[in-house]
């Protein structure tokens, strides 16, 4: 059973048992309140229209299957959020060393969160950017807007792990904007060769 | 008012590169009052670089391995001098591994198995980076510098889509049986066609130039003959010279092919 199948199954159970679930999470694009049904996406099946229905509760999901990948992802994301929140508080108190320590602790969790990249490509991309940003930072005071950006992005991806990939691209851009240029080893080399090949082809 | 008329090579640098070429492209464009991106450039962009990025994405998804993807690319490559040596590949691996400094990779591998191996992580990370570049760049075609200029009636513009783990970009071209919409306009540009042909004759030893000359001659001398997707592709660089708006400067890195034609027609060319 895939994560998406599991999520659908549990959503159906949740709707049947408790329509007014707390902590709602849409299985699909968070813009699902839009009237345009074509905007809705489930997982990576772009353009698919999700079933009619309500919402999925993260709490219920964790209760039903504590070992599920999605459930572990939420738990780790909440842990990362907690460290970043603490980092922001400490920065406000100008306790820079303690703030940086909290940020470093966040990096450890981002590395582990990367193991959940196959939940969806949106999750994968956003977590990759969080990890890259955390790896690149030498001192958190160098990038004062980054913790808040990461916090906002983490909250968003935790609320809508199956969001439209294009929205995930925007979130990734926000992180890069706050952190500065983030380099991905191999990207320049690979893209140079792919572009050179295409120039040969165009010719 | 002088405008920049953006050719496919610089559009590609601007959208896909992250090695400083994108900044050079942005800098050169900032010298102009406005920038014009013809839909023809978007069409070439999708058919060429974006199509190859799609291949890399799909190969990384299929193999789950950066090393295997590079190996496949080297087998398929028509530009063999450019391929990465094993030392260079190892250096890329090391650079990626160093981003995990302070993280216990062994612990992650014990708990998450193959998902935590460096080759698999690097493959997934690159795949996501490539996918981001593809979707973010293709989405921009509708709005970048005011949207596409000189729309092609026969070109079926379409979004990228996903089928399971693969990205698909079809249609890449106009339908096979289509008569190119440029043909009618070209029939009124006999002088430009003639100048472009004259400029190309000097370098006709290269196959792409021979093909382009043949298409230009066909349009000029036999206007009733069909101009289909293949002829449109071969027409290629001549588009940017023949359809360059008055008072615009062509921005390209492909000076070798564009400049001789542009010079004949009194059009300026600038490179980032």
Q: Which of A43-57, B128-142, B150-164 has the lowest mean pLDDT?
A: A43-57
- Predicted confidence at residue B267, as pLDDT, reads 94
Question: Is the predicted pLDDT of residue A37 greater than 90, yes or no?
Answer: no
Bridge pairing between strands B248-251 and B3-6: parallel
Cα A99 to the center of its chain, rounded Å: 22
Residues 6 or more apart whose CB falls under 8 angstroms from that of B239 comprise B38, B40, B182
Average pLDDT of chain A? 77
Q: Name the pLDDT band for B79 (thresholds 50, 70, 90).
A: low
DSSP designation for B161: E
Six token digits for residue B205: 């030893």
- Classify burial at A70, counting beta carbons within 10 Å of its beta carbon; exposed 0-12, middle 13-18, buried 19 or more: buried
- Predicted confidence at residue A123, as pLDDT, reads 95
Question: Is the predicted pLDDT of residue B33 greater than 70, yes or no?
Answer: yes
Q: What is this structure's pTM?
A: 0.84
CB atoms within 10 A of CB A126: 29
The 10s digit of each residue's pLDDT in B164-196 is 889 999 998 899 888 888 888 888 888 888 888
C-alpha to C-alpha distance for A83 and A72, rounded to whole angstroms: 17
B158 touches A: beta carbon within 8 Å: no
Interchain pair B139, A166: CB under 8 A: yes
Question: Is the predicted pLDDT of residue B134 greater than 80, yes or no?
Answer: yes
Q: Are B43 and B152 in contact (CB under 8 A)?
A: yes
Bridge pairing between strands B161-163 and B166-168: antiparallel
B136 touches A: beta carbon within 8 Å: yes
The 10s digit of each residue's pLDDT in A138-163 is 999 999 999 999 999 999 999 999 99
Give the nearest partner residue to B121 out of A47, A107, A114, using CB atoms: A114
B56 touches A: beta carbon within 8 Å: yes
**Dihedral of CA B58/B64/B66/B69: which sign?**
negative
Question: Is the predicted pLDDT of residue A20 greater than 70, yes or no?
Answer: no
Give the nearest partner residue to B124 out of A111, A124, A135, using CB atoms: A124
**B window 168-187, beta carbon within 8 A of A:** none
Give the nearest partner residue to A198 out of B49, B128, B236, using CB atoms: B49
Q: Are A92 and A86 in contact (CB under 8 A)?
A: no
Residue that wins the pLDDT comparison between A2 and A39 = A2
Residue that wins the pLDDT comparison between B187 and B1 = B187
Q: Are A38 and A47 in contact (CB under 8 A)?
A: yes
Interchain pair A201, B124: CB under 8 A: no
Interchain pair B19, A192: CB under 8 A: yes
Q: If we measure between CA atoms, which residue out of A149, A139, A137 comes closest to residue A177?
A: A149
Query: Which residues of chain B lie closer than 8 angstroms to A203, CB-CB?
Result: 206-208, 236
Helices (H) and strands (E) in chain B, counts: 14, 6
Stretch B127-139: mean pLDDT, rounded?
A: 95
Q: If we measure between CA atoms, which residue out of A194, A203, A199, A101 comes closest to residue A147?
A: A101
Give the nearest partner residue to B83 out of A104, A186, A193, using CB atoms: A193
Q: Which of A32-36, A150-154, B99-103, B171-175 has the lowest mean pLDDT?
A: A32-36
Which chain B residue is nearest to residue A181, measuring alpha carbons?
Answer: B18
Q: Which of A88-97, A163-172, B178-187 has the lowest mean pLDDT?
A: B178-187
**B window 213-272, beta carbon within 8 A of A:** 233, 236, 254
A20 touches B: beta carbon within 8 Å: no
Give the nearest partner residue to A196 out of B18, B82, B84, using CB atoms: B82
Size of interface A-B (CB pairs under 8 A): 143
A51 touches B: beta carbon within 8 Å: no
B110 touches A: beta carbon within 8 Å: no
Which chain B residue is nearest to residue A47, measuring alpha carbons?
Answer: B161
The 10s digit of each residue's pLDDT in A113-141 is 999 999 999 999 999 999 999 999 999 99
Shortest distance between the Cα of A22 and any Cα of chain B, in A, equals: 31
Q: Name the pLDDT band for A80 (thresholds 50, 70, 90).
A: very high
Task: Report which listed range, A65-69, A103-107, B208-212, is most confident.
Answer: A103-107
The 10s digit of each residue's pLDDT in B185-243 is 888 888 888 888 888 887 767 888 888 888 888 888 888 888 888 888 888 889 999 99
A188 touches B: beta carbon within 8 Å: yes
Q: Are A165 and A122 in contact (CB under 8 A)?
A: yes
For chain A, what percent of residues have pLDDT higher than 70? 65
The 10s digit of each residue's pLDDT in B36-49 is 999 999 999 999 99
At residue B162, φ and ψ (nearest 5 deg) are -120, 140
Query: Which residues of chain B lie closer than 8 angstroms to A185, CB-CB?
Result: 92-93, 95-96, 99, 122
B198 touches A: beta carbon within 8 Å: no
Stretch B95-119: mean pLDDT, rounded?
A: 89
């Amino acid at each position: 059973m895939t994560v998406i199948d599991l999520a659908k199954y549990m959503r159906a159970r949740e709707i049947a048992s408790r329509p007014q679930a707390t902590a709602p999470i849409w299985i699909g694009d968070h813009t699902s309140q839009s009237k345009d049904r074509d905007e809705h996406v489930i997982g990576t099946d772009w353009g698919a229209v999700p079933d009619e229905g309500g919402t999925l509760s993260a709490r219920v999901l964790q209760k039903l299957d504590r070992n599920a990948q999605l459930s572990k992802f939420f738990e780790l994301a909440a842990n990362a959020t907690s460290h970043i929140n603490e980092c922001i508080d400490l920065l406000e108190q100008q306790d820079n060393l303690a703030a940086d320590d909290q940020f470093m602790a966040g990096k450890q969790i981002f590395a582990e969160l990367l193991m959940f990249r196959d939940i969806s490509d949106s999750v994968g991309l956003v977590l990759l950017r969080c990890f890259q940003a955390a790896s690149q930072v030498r001192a958190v005071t160098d990038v004062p807007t980054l913790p808040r950006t990461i916090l906002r992005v983490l909250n968003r991806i935790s609320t809508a792990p199956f969001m439209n990939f294009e929205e995930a691209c925007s979130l990734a851009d926000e992180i890069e904007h706050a952190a500065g240029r983030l380099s991905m080893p191999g990207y320049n080399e690979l893209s140079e060769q792919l572009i050179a090949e295409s120039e040969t082809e165009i010719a | 008012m002088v405008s920049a008329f953006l050719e496919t090579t610089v559009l590609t640098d601007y959208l896909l590169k992250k090695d400083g070429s994108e900044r050079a492209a942005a800098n050169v464009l900032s010298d102009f009052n406005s920038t014009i991106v013809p839909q023809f450039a978007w069409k070439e962009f999708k058919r060429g670089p974006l199509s190859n990025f799609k291949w890399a994405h799909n190969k990384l998804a299929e193999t789950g391995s950066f090393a295997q993807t590079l190996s496949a690319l080297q087998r398929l490559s028509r530009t063999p001098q450019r391929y990465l040596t094993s030392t260079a590949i190892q250096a890329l691996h090391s650079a990626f591994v160093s981003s995990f400094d302070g993280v216990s990779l062994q612990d992650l591998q014990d708990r998450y198995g193959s998902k935590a191996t460096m080759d698999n992580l690097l493959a997934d990370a690159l795949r996501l980076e490539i996918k981001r570049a593809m979707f973010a760049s293709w989405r921009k075609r509708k709005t970048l510098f005011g949207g596409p200029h000189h729309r092609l009636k026969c070109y079926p513009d379409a979004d990228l889509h996903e089928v399971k783990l693969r990205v698909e970009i079809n249609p890449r071209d106009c339908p096979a049986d289509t008569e190119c919409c440029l043909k009618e306009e070209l029939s009124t540009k006999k002088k430009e066609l003639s100048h472009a042909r004259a400029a190309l004759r000097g370098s006709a030893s290269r196959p792409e130039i021979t093909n382009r000359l043949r298409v230009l001659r066909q349009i000029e001398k036999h206007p009733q003959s069909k101009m289909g997707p293949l002829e449109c592709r071969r027409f290629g660089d001549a588009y940017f010279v023949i359809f360059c708006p008055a008072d615009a400067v062509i921005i390209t890195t492909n000076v070798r092919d564009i400049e001789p034609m542009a010079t004949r027609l009194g059009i300026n060319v600038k490179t980032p």
